[in-house]
Structure 1
Amino acid sequence: MAPVVVKLSPLLVDLFPGSTRHVEMHADSVSAMVRELDRRWPGMGDRICDSRPAIRKHINIFVGGERASLGTALAPGSEVFVLTAISGG
């Protein structure tokens, strides 16, 4: 089974020394992907998800060009983008 490729925001990577922008892993859902990121870099899961659990409002996750939720399934070989929202005024 081909791994999924996770592409992390540079702002998120900067918070976790040793993390990388491109991560390959085996995960069958966005939720499983977040758990694996948190296993590799403790605390990253809390930056991505809140206590409900749900994806935080300032984080966007895209799979196949579509906005994803924690329940979104990941097919082998999927590309997942984890982006931080930019706001300002």
Structure 2
Amino acid sequence: MATIVLPRSLIALFPAAPRRCEVEAATVAEAIDRLDELAPGMRNRLLDSGPVVREHIKVFVDQVPATLATPMGRDSTLHIIPAVSGG
């Protein structure tokens, strides 16, 4: 199963979301759909109506920048990284 790793900033917004979880997914899009089943509303937070990953969110599969169509293997790790801002 593929692993999804979430940052604390998303966990703060979605307390039901696990910091790490394993999902059956062939693509990043499928992994985000599985994540939304665990933490409803997560998909809308990460994707726009395109659907494409929102501009301020970056996703990486096995440390390589990814899109929704990027394939995921059974041993892949998906990192979801929101932009950090502030002063």
TM over 0.5: yes
What's the C-alpha RMSD, in Å, of the aligned pairs? 1.1
Matched, 1:15 2:13: yes
SS of the residue corresponding to residue 82 of structure 1 reads strand
Summarize the alignment of residues 40-79 of structure 1 with structure 2, pairs less than 5 Å apart.
40-79=38-77
For structure 2, the residue ranges without an aligned partner over 5 or more in a row are none
Q: One-letter code of the match for 2:83?
A: A
Shift of 1:30: 0.2
Which residue number in structure 1 is paired with residue 80 of structure 2?
Answer: 82
Normalised by the size of structure 2, how large is the TM-score?
0.93
For 1:47 and 1:88, how far apart are their aligned partners in 2? Answer: 19
SS at match of 1:61: strand
Counterpart for residue 39 of structure 1: 37
Alpha-carbon shift at residue 19 of structure 1 (Å)? 1.4
CA drift of 1:88 comes to 4.1
Amino-acid identity (%): 36
* Runs (5+) with no aligned partner, structure 1: none
Q: Distance in 1 between matches of 2:55 and 2:10?
A: 14
CA deviation map 1:44-89 (0-9, x unaligned): 0001100010000111100121110000000111011011111346
- Matched residue SS, 2:37: helix
Give the paired residue count: 87
